[in-house]
Amino acid sequence: MTMTDFSVASYSRSLDTENLAALVREFADNPAAWLGGVRFVAAERWWTRLHSDDTLDVWLLTWVQDSGTDLHDHGISAGAFTVVSGRLEEVRPTGRRGALATTALSPGQVRRIEPSAVHDVRSPSNVPAISIHAYSPPLREMTFYELAASGPVPTRTVATAADWSPA
């Protein structure tokens, strides 16, 4: 399956979170587009880019127990992700004195991420998980945060090159 097989492939500008949510659902419903790329790595998450063009990126991520991303944002990129199998949690700062809100995610659930929104995704389960993520414009940087009483505090920014993948 190629991107031209998807109904949202006729885009000509950045996609919003609604379009990205539809895209990750459509990808998840078509395992031929990603199943061959699934890899699990002991003690950490793993990722690979499934598609990239001037408008969007689509990523496949796999998760093992206790793996996560740490609090981060996606810069100017909007995003959406869906859990394909297993269970994940998304954590977002609530704005109340450094508090976090955790949302449990099961297969088929989709989360939308506005540009510059801070969150963490993690795998609390001993069952490996798979998720599909999409970003528009393409993901070019991520800023990571520590949580302080006043809220998230930036600690570092990482550029995501076109060939970015786990070492």
Structure tokens at 103: 């949302």
* Structure confidence by residue, pLDDT tens digits, 115-133: 999 999 999 989 999 999 9
Name 142's Cβ contacts closer than 8 Å, sequence gap at least 6.
72, 73, 74, 75, 157, 158, 160
Structural domain harbouring 41: 12-157
Q: Label residue 13 by pLDDT band (50, 70, 90).
A: confident
* Predicted structure pTM score: 0.89
- Residue of higher predicted confidence among 97 and 2: 97
Q: How far apart are CA 38 and CA 61, in angstroms?
A: 8
Q: Looking at the domain assignment, is residue 166 inside a domain? A: no
Domain count within the chain: 1
Q: Looking at the domain assignment, is residue 97 inside a domain? A: yes
Q: What is the DSSP string of the chain?
A: --GGGSGGGG--S---HHHHHHHHHHHHT-GGGTGGG---BTTB-EEEEEEE-SS-EEEEEEE-TT-B--SB--TT-EEEEEEEES-EEEEEE-SSTT-EEEEEE-TT-EEEE-TT--BEEE--SSS-EEEEEEEESPP-EEEEEEEETTEEEEEEEEE--TT----
CATH number of the structural domain spanning residue 111: 2.60.120.10
Q: Looking at the domain assignment, is residue 2 inside a domain? A: no
Q: Looking at the domain assignment, is residue 151 inside a domain? A: yes
**Strands 129-136, 78-85: pairing kind:** antiparallel
Peptide bond preceding 166 in cis form (omega within 30 of 0): no
* Structure confidence by residue, pLDDT tens digits, 20-66: 999 999 999 999 999 999 999 888 899 999 998 999 999 999 999 98
